[in-house]
């Protein structure tokens, strides 16, 4: 009887740890899907998130990420001119019909990639950045490894069908998050509904219908081939919270968009963000036998908290600090922690660290200090 009761209590405890998103089935019609919150990177819902599947043109999120990283680092500029090669012009599929040796700015090519999924512009950008499409693909795979995209292998910068070109819903969310979190300027391309190129001669209409028809939509990238079926990484922001909904291998284009809306609606309805703040200002911590008398604690992590909406009003913050420290103290040394709870459940523990290093006084300095205190006392 005791064993049965213990097992039951253990099961209840484990179930309590399962995120609410996994405790219910959402009406998502795809082979794999995932919902992630941008600021924290927390996964709110997932099905087959690590299954390796073809991403089609959702691949171009990595292409755009590398371009944006080059722009933000100063290695590339929006007004740089790119000359289209014969190879770039031969891509087929979604394109803006670049002609060999036609020149276009980085900004216009990036717009074409984000809005109409232009394969020719993707390859032209890749060649310009890395010298060749193959060299660019090597960079794509290197960056994927750095981001922890362990389910991914890129073969080209476009997502056109190729043996071994695979990723997962989880990995797509990782690169989508990296793009929108650290390169927010990309939004001015991914939120375009209609635009033109070549002085109005070429029209652009976004392949991502959510941009027009979903409140708060901010991007990101569609994809489809006969083998990958219909794919999407959809981003949307409401009330300061941005979500990433990934859909892979949906049967139809409509089901792709509707499934993404199901995920996004669920996330916005069930979760919210708040900033955890200590109930009182955090006081300095004394340092014994140090060259300075105290250090100021600082948070060593992000204090943004993602929680179910019903828990947001019950969030509590507790600060625990060392009463005193003995020199030497290293900058960044953990000296306490800030614990965030809601309804008795721990949501986050953020280390508190020393804002500076403190060297230990030498014997001579201690002697001098004692003399000074003695004279001042006399």
Active-site residue identified among 60, 209, 221, 249:
60
Q: Which residue's structure tokens are 């953990």?
A: 334
The Cα 116–Cα 112 span in angstroms is 6
- Contacts of residue 362, defined as CB under 8 A and 6 or more positions apart, other chains included, come to none
The Cα 33–Cα 257 span in angstroms is 12
Torsions phi, psi for 23 (to 5 deg) = -85, -5
Active-site residue identified among 30, 57, 85, 259:
57
- 313 counts as catalytic: no
- 226 counts as catalytic: no
Q: Are strands 81-83 and 43-47 parallel, antiparallel or unpaired?
A: unpaired
The Cα 341–Cα 316 span in angstroms is 5
Q: What angle do CA 311, 312, 316 make, to 5 degrees?
A: 90
Q: Which residue's structure tokens are 């003399």?
A: 371
Using a 10 angstrom Cβ sphere, with 0-12 exposed, 13-18 middle and 19 or more buried, the burial of residue 198 is exposed
CB 152 within 8 A of CB 142: no
CB 157 within 8 A of CB 59: yes
Active-site residue identified among 85, 117, 168, 259:
117
- 117 counts as catalytic: yes
CB 117 within 8 A of CB 223: yes
The Cα 67–Cα 76 span in angstroms is 8
CB 293 within 8 A of CB 356: no
CB atoms within 10 A of CB 10: 10
Active-site positions?
A: 57, 60, 117
């Amino acid at each position: 009887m005791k064993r049965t009761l213990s097992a039951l209590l253990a099961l209840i405890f484990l179930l309590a740890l399962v995120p609410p998103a996994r405790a219910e089935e959402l009406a998502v019609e795809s082979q794999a899907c995932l919902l992630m919150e941008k600021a924290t990177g927390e996964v709110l819902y997932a099905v087959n998130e690590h299954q390796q599947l073809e991403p089609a043109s959702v691949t171009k999120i990595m292409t755009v990420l590398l371009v944006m990283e080059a722009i933000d680092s100063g290695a590339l500029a929006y007004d740089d001119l790119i000359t289209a090669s014969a190879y770039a012009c031969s891509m087929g599929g979604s394109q803006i019909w670049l002609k060999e040796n036609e020149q276009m700015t980085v900004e216009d090519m990036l717009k074409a990639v984000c809005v109409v999924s232009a394969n020719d512009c993707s390859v032209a950008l890749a060649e310009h950045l890395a010298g060749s499409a193959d060299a660019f693909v090597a960079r794509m795979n290197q960056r994927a490894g750095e981001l922890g995209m362990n389910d991914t292998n890129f073969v080209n910068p476009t997502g056109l069908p190729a043996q071994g070109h695979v990723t997962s819903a989880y990995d797509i969310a990782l690169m989508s998050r990296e793009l929108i979190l650290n390169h927010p300027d990309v939004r001015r391309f991914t939120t375009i509904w209609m635009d033109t190129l070549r002085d109005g001669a070429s029209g652009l209409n976004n392949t991502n219908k959510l941009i027009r028809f979903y409140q708060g939509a901010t991007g990101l990238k569609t994809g489809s081939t006969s083998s990958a079926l219909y794919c999407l990484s959809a981003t949307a922001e409401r009330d300061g919270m941005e979500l990433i909904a990934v859909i892979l291998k949906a049967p139809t284009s409509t089901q792709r968009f509707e499934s993404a809306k199901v995920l996004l609606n669920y996330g916005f309805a069930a979760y919210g963000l708040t900033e955890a703040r200590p109930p009182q200002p955090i006081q300095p911590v004394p340092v014994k036998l140090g060259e300075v008398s105290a250090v100021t604690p600082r948070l060593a992590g992000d204090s943004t908290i993602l929680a179910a909406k019903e828990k947001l009003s019950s969030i509590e913050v507790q600060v625990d600090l060392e009463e005193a420290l003995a020199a030497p103290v290293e900058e960044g040394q953990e000296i306490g922690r800030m614990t965030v709870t809601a309804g008795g459940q721990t949501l986050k523990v953020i280390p508190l660290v020393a804002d500076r290093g403190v060297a230990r006084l030498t014997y001579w300095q201690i002697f001098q200090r004692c003399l000074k205190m003695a004279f001042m006392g006399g």
